[in-house]
């Protein structure tokens, strides 16, 4: 019988012995954050020996901000007479006399379980605080979150050029229109312009030099766009050799000036591919967002019409949408 085996043993001594052997540490604090006792925590891969902290207050062994936060949790457990659980991070080097002791290094994450202990009338309240090291779990979640962010970014970006893909461009366009409308109501915005552009005779590059040469040309043109435009301009590859740009909060002469910079830079560029030299030009169409338009669809159609007029008129040029010349 178990009772016979422990007969004569001090139950408190036995309980302390059991708790001391537990891998996770048990901290006993009073309501002022004084370390009254520390049991367990024998796994040195996760925990330091904290017994030297007994008799000291939290504010004596760690920075004030962290100590204030931990003490609030102790007081909450006492006030509500209930279990309090939360997560917190500590770097062992920031705890008094932890550095140099056997145990882990670097930032560690813990999940605390704080339970109030019964007390006699007039006696200071106490809590027992069990700390579970969840660092590996937090790091695993962080890696998963990072991978998820990367996947979301990959879903937004055209993998060949690094620009927004068609879907993301449309989503960004909607947000830009919303922002433009708000700024215009406040009197801070001028115009909202949309450009469509298409590389001239691009099929000949693929036919004459191969698709790798075509891909190189598209990547180079994408870099040209990023170089010629501002950080707040929205650029997207809509497919093939078609690109679209949003210029918000500017006047038409600014949009024309940016388009001309793109056109001229593209014309002047020579790309070396293997032992070949490739050059090409671009045709650009520009239109302004209509007063009652709340999405980019119709503006893209008008810019597309103006772009194809640029091609009909000889390519390597810029055309601004005109109802008379481009009316759909």
Residue 241 annotated in active site: yes
| Count of C-beta atoms within a 10 Å radius of residue 157 | 16
Distance set, CA 252 to CA 31, 317, 321 (Å): 68, 16, 12
Dmax over Cα atoms in the chain, in whole Å?
Answer: 106
The single residue of 24, 176, 241, 250 carrying the catalytic annotation is 241
Supply the residues annotated as catalytic.
241
């Amino acid at each position: 019988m178990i009772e016979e085996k422990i007969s004569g043993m001090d139950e408190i001594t036995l309980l302390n012995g059991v708790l001391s052997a537990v891998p996770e540490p048990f901290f006993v604090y009073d309501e002022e954050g004084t370390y009254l006792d520390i049991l367990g925590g024998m796994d040195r891969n996760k925990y330091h020996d904290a017994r030297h902290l007994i008799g000291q207050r939290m504010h004596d062994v760690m920075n004030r901000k962290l100590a204030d936060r931990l003490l609030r949790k102790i007081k909450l457990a006492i006030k509500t007479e209930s279990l309090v659980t939360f997560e917190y991070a500590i770097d062992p080097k920031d705890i008094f006399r932890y550095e140099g002791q056997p145990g882990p290094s670097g930032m560690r994450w813990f999940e605390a379980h704080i339970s109030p202990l019964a007390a006699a009338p007039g006696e200071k309240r106490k809590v027992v605080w069990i700390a579970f090291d969840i660092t590996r779990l937090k790091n695993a979640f962080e890696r998963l979150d990072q991978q998820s962010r990367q996947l979301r970014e990959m879903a937004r970006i055209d993998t060949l050029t690094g620009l927004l893909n068609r879907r993301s461009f449309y989503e960004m366009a909607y947000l830009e229109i919303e922002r433009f409308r708000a700024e215009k109501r406040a009197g801070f915005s001028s115009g909202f312009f949309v450009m469509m552009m298409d590389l001239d005779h691009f099929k000949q590059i693929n036919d004459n030099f191969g698709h790798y040469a075509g891909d190189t040309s598209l990547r180079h043109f994408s870099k040209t766009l990023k170089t010629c435009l501002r950080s707040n301009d929205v650029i997207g590859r809509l497919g093939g050799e078609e690109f679209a740009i949003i210029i918000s909060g500017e006047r038409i002469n600014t949009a024309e000036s940016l388009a001309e910079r793109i056109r001229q830079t593209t014309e002047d560029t020579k790309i070396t591919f293997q032992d070949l030299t490739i050059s090409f030009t671009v045709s650009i169409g520009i239109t302004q967002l209509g007063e009652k338009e709340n999405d980019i669809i119709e503006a893209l159609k008008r810019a597309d019409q103006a772009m194809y007029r640029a091609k009909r008129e000889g390519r390597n040029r810029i055309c601004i949408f005109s109802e008379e010349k481009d009316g759909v």
